[in-house]
Amino acid sequence: MLQRCLPSSIVDTLEDSPIIDVLRIGQEVEGIIPLWLGESCFPTDPSITEAAVTALRNGRTFYTPNRGIPELRESIARYYQRIYDVSLSDNRISVANSGMHAVTMISRAVLEAGDNAILITPCWPNVDRAIRLLGGEIREVPLDLREDRFELDMSKVEAQIDGRTKLIYLASPSNPTGWTIDEQQSRQLLELSRRTGISILSDEVYQRLSFNNEMGSTMLSCAEPDDALFVVNSFSKAWSMTGWRLGWMIFPQVFHDSFEKLSQFSISGSPGFVQMGGVQALDQGDDLVGKLRRHCIEAKTHVEERLADLPGVSVIPSMGGFYTMFKSPKTTDSVSFCKNAARIAGVGCAPGAAFGAGGEGLVRLCYARDLDTLDVAIQRLATAL
């Protein structure tokens, strides 16, 4: 007797992000203001779009090298040299089909089934799921919330390490908290990696949207070329290119062949015309990034002040990215609160419970919108609080 075709047990038992649960409810609400996803309301700048269109017209429609076209790899190297004074050899750079694709490839390159990864949380839930899909175990180190400020206790990171720990993940600026690691703790993490052989995955997707440093920072500035440091970045956020699905990663040279293979056996190279848009963004897009950063600073201040005026609401100020987290007596169950906010107030927010340990009781709101829309959203939220 033939057995029924069934989903993989790992996939079948992998739960959806609670954000998706809220989004499904919100999709049925007419006129909802969607502040749940990490996406700005601004379309990609025409100069970037035109670079891709020109590439299409010029016949850039063929297969591309696994690690990306030379023009984009060279542009990435110029970017780090120009902004951070970091020199990168070409064999440490790979293009990816989004930051998420880069995270997945790095996880595959470093982890085996039964290994564990330490996540500094609250963090983007897709990272947790990507590692668990490989048969990896997740160990969370929640940021401490002290006087409305998130802080990392390095001793808690070390306490989670054992013989099967292969990876430490952090995002700076963080999604969802806006927490940003400082240079001292970056160096401490690198020293920990050197002592233990554990790899670090530094998610720097919101790097250019740091509020205390115009250009942001990178752990590469503190690292040696042979450190077990993997850096992920993406065009999605700072360059308003979410739908382009284009990112990159920097890795130790010893992993060059690994990523040639992993790209070959997953997507076999990103589209050439899309990558030419990336070249334009990196080489000519500093003014565009600066404009978005200034808007985010204005919107953050605007939103945080108005949220703080609502009865019982406490706001955790963001240090970067485009999210604010807040709490109130009614957000103790953040999933229920966000579902009610969608149904009753017509505002889509992301529940803190979606982001792992330390997130419950908090709600994430994306402020990369125009100020008038944000004002309406906060007025509506008041009815749910």
pLDDT at 3: 66
Token pair listed for 147: 């006087």
pLDDT at 78: 98
Which residues have a Cβ under 8 Å from the Cβ of 340 and sit 6 or more positions away?
384
Residues of the chain with pLDDT under 50: none
Q: Please tell me the distance from the alpha carbon of residue 177 to that of residue 196, in angstroms, as a whole number.
A: 28
Q: Please tell me the distance from the alpha carbon of residue 227 to that of residue 200, in angstroms, as a whole number.
A: 9
Q: What is the largest CA-CA distance in the chain?
A: 66
pLDDT in tens, 160-176: 999 999 999 999 999 99
pLDDT at 342: 96
Alpha carbon 369 to chain centroid, angstroms: 18
- Domain locations along the chain: 9-44+287-381, 46-285
pLDDT in tens, 135-154: 999 999 999 999 889 999 99
Which CATH fold topology does 46-285 show?
Aspartate Aminotransferase; domain 2 (3.40.640)
Q: Please tell me the distance from the alpha carbon of residue 380 to that of residue 347, in angstroms, as a whole number.
A: 7
pLDDT at 132: 95
> Backbone phi, then psi, for 284, in 5-degree steps?
-125, 5
pLDDT at 48: 98
Answer whether 347's CB lies under 8 Å from 379's CB: no
Which residues have a Cβ under 8 Å from the Cβ of 176 and sit 6 or more positions away?
122, 123, 124, 323, 325, 350, 352, 355, 359, 362, 364
pLDDT at 11: 83
Q: Taking the CB of residue 301, how many other CB atoms lie within 10 A of it? A: 15
Q: Please tell me the distance from the alpha carbon of residue 65 to that of residue 163, in angstroms, as a whole number.
A: 37
The answer to pTM > 0.85 is yes
Task: Match 């440091």 to its residue by tokens.
Answer: 229
Answer whether 219's CB lies under 8 Å from 228's CB: no
Quote the DSSP letter at residue 370. Answer: -
pLDDT at 8: 82
CA distances from 40 to 83, 137, 237, 295 (A): 24, 33, 7, 11
Token pair listed for 44: 């990609």
Answer whether 40's CB lies under 8 Å from 322's CB: yes
Which residues have a Cβ under 8 Å from the Cβ of 147 and sit 6 or more positions away?
none
CATH superfamily of 9-44+287-381: Aspartate Aminotransferase, domain 1 (3.90.1150.10)
Answer whether 310's CB lies under 8 Å from 381's CB: yes
Q: Taking the CB of residue 334, how many other CB atoms lie within 10 A of it? A: 26
pLDDT at 283: 98
